[in-house]
């Protein structure tokens, strides 16, 4: 048996501002942007160089969904972005004025910092362990 997670839904307020943030500030690849109706699109982005799981940018359609934008996990880190070059990507976060919640620390599993996306969701940026 083989299974994999193809997409994770990330509730957003606006498709275009979310695409702009992920592709211009984090340098993600826009994999797909298909119009499904007047109010709904199928928008997939993923980190550069990745061929794995994509984020499905899902526009909030109800007040309840809108209340979850930026806080899908009750304040815990939601997503974990692994990188082959921590310093490069950390400096990009700074250059793009992305809010750093916790600065870099060295852990046994690698160098990590916590940052916020455009809505306030928390992410870990994780680089390889320092040898």
Contact in structure between 119 and 67 (CB atoms under 8 Å): no
Q: Domain 1-69: state its class.
A: alpha beta
Q: Which residue has the tokens 């940052």?
A: 115
CA distance 78 to 74: 9
* Percent above pLDDT 70 for the chain: 100
Token pair of 74 as six digits: 């009750």
Q: What is the pLDDT of residue 131?
A: 73
CB count in 10 Å sphere of residue 56: 18
Sheet holding 7-12, edge to edge: 7-12, 54-59, 41-46, 29-35
Topology of 70-131 in CATH? 2,3-Dihydroxybiphenyl 1,2-Dioxygenase; domain 1 (3.10.180)
Q: What is the pLDDT of residue 130?
A: 78
Taking the model in full, what pTM does it have?
0.94
Q: Tell me, yes or no, if the two domains 1-69 and 70-131 fold the same way.
A: yes
Task: Report the first-to-last Cα separation within the chain, whole angstroms.
Answer: 36
25-83 pLDDT, tens digit per residue, is 999 999 999 999 999 999 999 999 999 999 999 999 999 999 999 999 999 999 999 99
Residue spans of the domains in the chain: they are 1-69, 70-131
Q: What is the pLDDT of residue 118?
A: 97
Q: What is the pLDDT of residue 98?
A: 98
Rounded to an integer, the average pLDDT of 96-101 is: 98
Which of 37, 31, 32 is CA-nearest to residue 61?
Answer: 37
Q: What is the pLDDT of residue 10?
A: 97
């Amino acid at each position: 048996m083989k299974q994999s997670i193809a997409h994770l839904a990330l509730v957003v307020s606006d498709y275009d501002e979310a695409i702009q943030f992920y592709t211009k500030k984090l340098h993600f690849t826009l994999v797909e942007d298909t119009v499904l109706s007047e109010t709904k699109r199928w928008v997939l982005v993923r980190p550069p160089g990745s061929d794995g799981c994509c984020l499905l940018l899902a526009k909030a359609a109800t007040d309840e969904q809108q209340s979850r934008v930026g806080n899908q996990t009750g304040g815990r880190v939601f997503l974990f972005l692994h990188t082959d070059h921590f310093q490069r990507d950390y400096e990009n976060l700074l250059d793009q004025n992305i809010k750093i919640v916790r600065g870099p620390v060295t852990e046994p599993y690698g160098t990590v910092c916590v940052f916020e996306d455009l809505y306030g969701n928390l992410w870990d940026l994780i680089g390889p362990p320092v040898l």
